[in-house]
Structure formats: C-alpha cells, structure tokens
Structure 1
Amino acid sequence: MRVALISAIVLINLLFIFVLVRDLLRHRDEIMSEPASSVWTPIAQAVIYFLSTFGISDFAISTALYPKAKWVSMKKLPGTLNTQCVIPVFVMSLAYITNITVGIKTLLVAIICQVIGAYLGPRFVVKLPERVIRNFVIVGLLVATALIVAGKMGLIPSNGTATELYGWKLWLTGLLMFIYGALNNIGIGSYALTMATVYAMGMNPVAAFPIMMGGCTFSVSIGSMQFIKLNDYSRKITMFSVFGIVGVLVAVFLVKSLNTSIIQWIVIAVLLYSAVSLYLGNKSKSDNTASKEA
C-alpha cells in the first residue's frame, strides 16, 4: 500500500509538472516581464523551503514577503502560494513518507480528504474580490501566529505516541483535513493547522510531517492545476520554485535537526507585522473609496 501511495504521489506530481511546463511554454514571452526579482526569487525559494522542511509554514513566510516586495498581486497570491510549493513539497513528501512511520489508513484518509477540499476550492477563490482575499490572508496570518505561539507556550499537547487513528478521531481528522485543503486555496497554509490536529488527537508529533507533506503533495498539485487553468498565479515565482528543492535537500540530508525556536519568534514577529500592514492597507483603501464616493 505504501508503494502504491508513493507511486501515486510521483504520478500526480509528474502530471502537474507537465501542465505547468506546457503553460510556461505557452507564455514564455511574458514570464520574465513579471515583477518578481530574477535574482532574489530563487534565493528566497531555497530559504523558504529549507525552513518549510522543518515545519515553518512556507505559506506564512511567502505571504509576509511577496506583497511587501511587490512580486505578485494580492489577487494572484493564493494561486501562487499553491503552485510554487508543489515541486518542493513533492520532494519533502517522498523523504518523510519513506522515513517516518504513520498508519497507512490514517495517512490515506488525511490525504484523500485534503485533496477533495483542494479540488473544490480554486473555482470559488478566483471569483472573490481582492479585498476579500486580503481579509482571508490576514486571518490566515493570525491563525498561524496563534498556533505557533500556542505550541511554544505548551498550550497544544505534543507528547502523544499513537501512529494510527480510529473511530471518531479518524472521522474528525478527515473532516478537518478537508477544510484545510479548501483553506489552502485562499492562502491559509495547512502546516500549523495539521500539526495542531495531530497533537490534539494524541499522535506522535513526528507523524505530522508525512501527513502534512502527503496531504499537501496531492492537494496542492490538484488545486494548482486548477489555478494554472484559470490563469491565476505568478508564472515567474512558480518557475523559480525548483530552487526550493535545494533547500529541501539541504534540510533533509545535510541538516538533520534545527533549533527553530529563535526562527519561530522571528516568524511570529514577521507574521504579526504583515497582518497589521495588510489590515492598514485595507483600511486605507476603504477610506479612500469612501472619500471619493463622498
């Protein structure tokens, strides 16, 4: 069953790569004119996915960085967050699923439910106005911040030992993973949410990693193909996401462990700053609109 799962991961990601490359070739004359930096974007991808391999949300870091750097519009941010992470998360998922033990039934339920949520999401996201997307992103930043702080303060239990779920715990986890898959599409990352769920269900904390990466490698690849079809993502940032593989491989094979405590406090500060900045930007736009109407 595990071999079949790994084979399915490879196939779905190869399909995504085919869809992505075809789209990049069709729009090759437009890619380099996009605002993302051709120098700093590859470096950012390597750093973002190095940290992501240790469970620090790439969605949160990217959301804090891209609007400030003006690399992508708020409207295309959710699609970009999804498409850019497919290839690096593909590599992560293979590394974690083959090296960490977690019950195959629990893993399959989590993956399938998250995929369904991710598949249904993009067709609704592209219809949302920019202001609504911005509000969702602000909520996502605050939720990620709260969960990181809760983990650091010991408010979320993280000493479980289970590697498999049964009964209501399995059903509830499946429902939550469906919701997380849908939330991915509006720019709310599922890493912190999945970690909190795994801890709350009494599972071994390391089980969060194959569940996170396994669920994401299917859900974001399927959701991202929808964003590509709908032309709602940054091609340039996604093209440079291959440099994220470097960060993943360094983290998995060269840096066996990382003291993330200081990094987490820095991330908390950045997330809060970004949330406040986006809120003030929203308020400023609303005030300007109101004054013009007056």
Structure 2
Amino acid sequence: MTKNIILALIVLIDGYFLFYFVRDLVKNKAEFQADPGNNYALPFTSFLIFFLSTFGISDFAIGTAIYSHFKWVSIKKLPGTLNAQCAIPVSAMTLFYITAISVGIKTLVVCIICQIIGAYIGPRFVVKLPEKTIKIFVGIGLIIAAFLIFAGQMKWIPTNGTATELYGGKLILAGFLMFLYGALNNIGIGSFSLTMVTVYLLGLNPAAAFPIMMGACAFSLPIGSVQFIKYGDYSRRITLFASVFGVLGVLVAVFIVKALNVYMLKWLVIFVLLYSAYSMLAGQFKHQS
C-alpha cells in the first residue's frame, strides 16, 4: 500500500516538473533555439547516458564528460542541466526498481524526504556561484565518482550486507547523508555512487541501493530542477532530448537487456571521468599558479 502511494507521488511530482518545463519551453522558444547541442547526436547520447545509468553508472558523471567535451552547455548552466535532464528518466527507473526490489519502507521514506530537503535548498545557492567555483566542485565530484567506482572494482567496499531496513543511529546518519547528497546534486555532483557506498557501509543489501538512490532522486531531482527552471539556469535543448530518449534508454535496459556485465565498461568510465576532471581543473590551477 505504501509503495503504491510512493509510486503515485512520483507520477504527481513528474507532472509538477513537466508543467514548469513545458511552460518554460513555450515562453522561451528563442532561447531554446539558441541552446547549443547537436540534434543528431543528442538522441544517441541521451539514450546512452540513461541506459548506463539504469545499471548504476552515474548519469551526472557521464553527462558532465560529454557536455563539457562538446561544449553543449556552459559551466554556469551545467548543474541545472544535469539535474533537469534526469527528472523524467530517473523516475522511469524508480517505477521499476521500487516495485521489483524489497527495501524497508521506513528507510526508503526517510532517505527520500531528506534528499528532497537538500535538493530544494541547494539551487538558490548554486545559481549565485561563479563559474570558477562550479568548475572546481564539478571537477572534484568527477574525481570522487571515479574513486568510488575504482574502489568497487578493487572490492575495497564491502557488499555483503543483508539488511533491508535501518534503525536508530544508522537511520539518522543515512538521513543526514541523503540530505547532503541532495544538496550536492545541485552543484553537479551526482548522488548515485555516494548512495551506493552509503548503503554498502551501513550493512544494507546491495540491491537496496537502487530503489533508495533512484527513489530519492525521483523526488529530489524534479523539485530541485524546477528551481533551476525558474532561474533559467539550464539547457532546455538537452533536457528535452534527455526526457524523451533517456526514457527509451531506461526501457531498453530494463525490459530488453535486463543484465549487463559492466566490469570492463567501468574501467573505461574511470578513465573518462579522470580525463574530464583534469580538463576542468587544470585551467583553474594553472590560472592560480
């Protein structure tokens, strides 16, 4: 019953996001036309980003690498774009994972609410940050994501937990961390890898990471993204393509591919993330020296 309520709320929150997004597109047709981005490449990249995201590879990290390399979005608009492009595809993932994987309702609800609060507060501070600061934050986020994936590859992080519910201090800690991850999302630091590590270290069943991280993002991303939409600090073009073709990537991953051996792919992702982090941070440190 509770899961059905959560699923219904996800649909409502997506309607809330779509209302503001479509209204913004209609009001800003000229800005939409002026947004950089290749109309032939964006369907493919959107599909790929969220196809991989369905298997736990951070869409924030891959999106940052692609959009920065092709200069499809300015650094100033990058955090808002990374959040807005995820709103619909991540909700599609969540509708599958919450119904398919068992996790304690109390733990799930606490994690969702705490990340929503962090996501709601974050954008009003991020839009005031200078590009240089955003670059440093995003660059550090890419390094953190690469390290966490590397740690998983090397089996440094325990993944043998069996619990499906958290209690007491562990639940409070999880709530605080999810609040922090919701805020970090708005700077362009994705929460998928961070949430997975948190789930593992707190002793939960590794499979519980998927409904928790995607359930939390299904609520927090639309709410945070609406704030970015109101400020106009996001790429309308990328968000539109991701909302359509990203969902297709999710559906193919869930219903056709279903399982993917991502071990070798993750090594490639680590290299891409570190290269992107270097490209983003090298200029900043060179400028300071």
Cα deviation 1:43-94 (Å, max 9, x = unaligned): 1000000000000000000111111101000000000000000010010010
Deviates more, 1:119-128 or 1:277-286: 277-286
Q: 1:267 aligns with which of 261, 269, 278?
A: 269
Alpha-carbon distance in structure 2 between the residues aligned to 1:219 and 1:285? 35
Tell me the residue number matched to 1:251. 253
Tell me the residue number matched to 1:178. 179
Question: CA 1:27–1:285 in 2, change beyond 3 Å: closer, same or farther?
Answer: farther
Amino acid at match of 1:60: A
Amino acid at match of 2:101: I
Tell me the residue number matched to 1:196. 197
Tell me the residue number matched to 2:229. 228
Deviates more, 1:51-60 or 1:237-246: 237-246
Tell me the residue number matched to 1:3. 4
Tell me the residue number matched to 1:124. 125
Listed as ranges, the matches of 1:7-156 within 5 Å are: 7-156=8-157
Shift of 1:285: 4.5
Alpha-carbon distance in structure 2 between the residues aligned to 1:32 and 1:229? 18
Cα deviation 1:249-284 (Å, max 9, x = unaligned): 000000111000111000000001011111122234
Amino acid at match of 2:99: T
Tell me the residue number matched to 1:219. 220
Amino acid at match of 2:246: G
| C-alpha RMSD over aligned residues | 0.9
Q: How many residues align structurally?
A: 287
Amino acid at match of 1:249: L
Cα deviation 1:13-49 (Å, max 9, x = unaligned): 1110111000011112331221111111111000000
Amino acid at match of 1:109: V
Using the size of structure 2 for normalisation, the TM-score is 0.98
Cα deviation 1:129-177 (Å, max 9, x = unaligned): 0000000001100110111111111111001111111111111000000
Q: Which runs of 4+ in 1 moved over 6 A?
A: none
Is residue 2:153 matched to residue 1:158? no
Q: What is the DSSP-based 3-state SS (H/G/I as helix, E as strand, rest coil) of the residue aligned with 1:257?
A: coil
Alpha-carbon distance in structure 1 between the residues aligned to 2:59 and 2:31? 26
The answer for unaligned runs of 5 or more in structure 1 is: 288-294
The answer for unaligned runs of 5 or more in structure 2 is: none
Alpha-carbon distance in structure 1 between the residues aligned to 2:133 and 2:124? 15
Q: What is the DSSP-based 3-state SS (H/G/I as helix, E as strand, rest coil) of the residue aligned with 1:22?
A: helix
Using the size of structure 1 for normalisation, the TM-score is 0.96
